[in-house]
Structure 1
Amino acid sequence: MTTPEHPPPAPRPPAPASQDRIYRSSAGIAGGVLLLAIALWLGIDALVAGEGRTPWLALAALLLVVPLVTAYTLRPAVFADEERLRVRNPLRVVVLPWERVGALRSGYSNEVVADTGAKYQLWAVPVSLRARKRAAQREARRTAADGRKPAGRAGFGLAGRRTAAEADDGPVRAEGDKVMDELRSLLAAREGTSGTAGGEIGVRWAYEIIAPAVAGAVLLAVLAATG
């Protein structure tokens, strides 16, 4: 008596690719949503209730303003995984394999420097001098409080546990500086490895933003010239 052969085991699905770490500016998103709401409210009202050339002017203004506001507030983002850094700026997208990243610099703006010397600003990670000042003040207050706390009581009580937890988190840093620290950690983890993420640096212009904005500007110019 023969028994039916067992079917071969199904192949395992490929391991999922590493998830992107996504960095965006919450203040920029909030401001962009507010500006878009105002622009759409005024523009749609002019389109519906306007007379004569007003609807055309409103249409041209919407074509110009909405893409630009979206580009400079909602669109910027930085995507990082184990293989590459993808920078989505207002008018272009830059993809840099980690092996092609030379440095990550912070000054009056945050930027990534490619091994070719090209610099790309990180619009999604703005520098806030006020946030840095507040973080420095908080760190100074925390350091002073730790210095006044008796050493024998550091591990007892709620205050002692809170101080220990804060110490584990490291010094107080501004949010943008924390993001840059994380990106530098990813870059440092790739140094000295024979990674598989080598390749060319990719730069793509955001024509989906540029085209309607240019159309709106041209339409405004035509309306102004024929008015």
Structure 2
Amino acid sequence: MTSSPRTPNNPGGPAEPPYADRVYRSTAALISGVLVLLLAAWIGGDALVRGEGRTPWAAVAGLLFAVPLVVAFTLRPAVFANDDRLRIRNPFRTITLPWGAVEGVRAGYSSEVFAGGTKYQLWAVPVSLRQRKRVARQQARRATDDPYGRTSATADVTDARSRRAPADQTVDDLREQAERCASRPTAQGEPVVRWAYGIIAPCVVGAIALAVLFATA
């Protein structure tokens, strides 16, 4: 979704910001999260309808504990980037980093961003060593097929993104955007970290309820 920016030639334009967030998420995590939630709903619903004695209460407490965790680690993680800031939505925290505060972005065994002397992981951009190995094999195969690199400039540009693992390419994009936008006046400020109490609170309540049920069984 895009909006029309307000420009000098369009002083009466809308007041929306002249940029849109680019969103990075893990498709595999989203699919697995939906499947696990469907399974939990099936098992929990069956326990609620057919269970006897303490079983329905245990099902409620278990769902209250498990469902937020599944959402936190599968559906919730996302990275939002625009020209002013990087917003990282991890399982239990949301970190907002103005580009001027970002010191670096890298992908080792995990995707990470550094700001204010602190390292923050990008849960929504998982690093896959298998994908890296597959890309390395493809590059080796290309080198074997054409040892002198006799390819056209158009082919090189078109195929450039396929020569990087998805996580590495995403980190490259974020690093390039950080370098490009760090000097913007609207991209200055300090990192802001907010805890996801909407995820944490029901997990704690569910855990306490399960502990009470097991202790009094």
Same fold, judged at TM 0.5 (above): yes
Q: Deviations over 1:43-77 (max 9, x none)?
A: 01101110000000100100010000000011000
- TM-score scaled to structure 1, two decimals? 0.85
Match of 1:32 in 2: 33
CA deviation after TM superposition for structure 1 residue 17, in Å: 3.3
The question of whether the paired residues in 1 share the 8 Å contact of 2:107 and 2:167 is answered with no
The count of aligned residue pairs is 206
Looking at structure 2, the residues matched to 194 and 67 of structure 1 have their Cα atoms a distance apart, in angstroms, of 37
Instruction: Name stretches of at least 5 consecutive residues in structure 2 with no aligned partner.
Output: 1-10
- Regions of 4+ moved over 4 Å: none
Share of identical aligned residues, percent? 54
Q: Deviations over 1:4-32 (max 9, x none)?
A: xxxxxx94333543100000001111111
Looking at structure 2, the residues matched to 107 and 220 of structure 1 have their Cα atoms a distance apart, in angstroms, of 38
Aligned ranges 1:58-97 → 2 under 5 Å: 58-97=59-98
- TM-score scaled to structure 2, two decimals? 0.88
The structure whose Rg is larger is: 1
Match of 1:182 in 2: 173
Match of 1:134 in 2: 134
Instruction: Name stretches of at least 5 consecutive residues in structure 1 with no aligned partner.
Output: 1-9, 156-162
Looking at structure 2, the residues matched to 106 and 54 of structure 1 have their Cα atoms a distance apart, in angstroms, of 45
Match of residue 155, structure 2, among 142, 165, 170? 165
Matched position secondary structure for 2:168 = helix
CA deviation after TM superposition for structure 1 residue 148, in Å: 7.4
Match of 2:8 in 1: none
Instruction: Report the AA paired with residue 126 of structure 1.
Output: P
> Which is further off, 177-186 or 166-175?
166-175
Matched position secondary structure for 1:43 = helix
Indicate how the Cα distance of structure 1 residues 16 and 63 shifts in structure 2: closer, same or farther if over 3 A, else same: same
Structure 1 vs Structure 2 CA RMSD: 2.0
Indicate how the Cα distance of structure 1 residues 141 and 54 shifts in structure 2: closer, same or farther if over 3 A, else same: same
